Amino acid sequence: MSIFKTNNVNIRGKGTSTMMFAHGFGCDQNMWRFITKAFEETHQLILFDHVGAGQSDLNAYDPVKYQDINGYVEDIINIANTLELKEVIFVGHSVSAMMGIMAAEKEPTLFKSLILVSPSPSYINDRDYIGGFSRMEIEELLQSLDENHLGWSMTMAPLIMANSDRAELGEELTNSFCSTDPTIARQFARVTFLTDSRALLPQCKTPSLILQCSDDIIAPVEVGQYMHEQMDNSHLVILEATGHCPHMSAPKETTAAILNFLNN
């Protein structure tokens, strides 16, 4: 089946250097729209939806393949290989940031650099590691999603977005959460919140930019600092932006940080 149908792949831009954008849980490629215009004149842009999200082919969803993060990583590599991409600048939000790190480990020559927007290798506190949640809190969060997908979405999306003075952003994320198939959303949530990718960080040699928001209930500042310490070839920027989606809530600041990284 064509990746253009399976993952709703869209290609735009005029440049020879390639940027691939991967969205996070409950989102779709459209949420990159606030920052992609800044790169269209200088880069070829590859946008796609994870299977189960946005305008992807829901018939392609396989609960066995996507029971862990590796299924999504395979898709990222498949898209890149099918399009014969090389020296890709990978931009991943939230759980997709970790997918990028995993894809770079599997295909070391595929990516030129990684731009990790609000990433987290593990959301669960573990001894000295601060992930933001206890295991019990994560289990309660997932149980709440299991029991009431719409209610969970309407409660959590505005908290994840933050920036309550811009209610339209929280509403957009809420609508995106609510429109996702509940069964797929539950499984993707478990993949997102129960994956522990910390062991991969020291192995990542790809130049990486970690964009961390100053106040994020999903990925606290300590997460970004931990990742930077574990990744030798990384650069950490603590944004003034708040919430978990700075590419939506603070696109100018996010774009400026990415451009500064790419130009240095």
Residues 6+ apart with CB under 8 A from 121: 98, 196, 197, 198, 200, 201, 223, 226, 227
- Quick check: is 94 catalytic? yes
Residue ranges of the alpha helices (H) in 32-126?
33-36, 70-82, 95-106
CB-based contact 29:23 (threshold 8 Å): yes
The rounded distance, in Å, linking the Cα atoms of 120 and 212 is 10
The distance from CA 114 to its chain's CA centroid, rounded to whole angstroms, is 12
| Residue 132: closest CA among 122, 142, 117 | 122
| Cα→Cα distances 256→60, 225, 249, 259, 260, Å | 37, 20, 14, 5, 6
Helix (DSSP H) and strand (DSSP E) numbers for the chain: 11, 7
- Quick check: is 216 catalytic? yes
Q: One of 23, 228, 244, 247 is an active-site residue; which one?
A: 244
Q: One of 94, 153, 208, 234 is an active-site residue; which one?
A: 94
- Quick check: is 244 catalytic? yes
The rounded distance, in Å, linking the Cα atoms of 241 and 182 is 30
Q: One of 120, 149, 216, 247 is an active-site residue; which one?
A: 216
Catalytic residues: 94, 216, 244
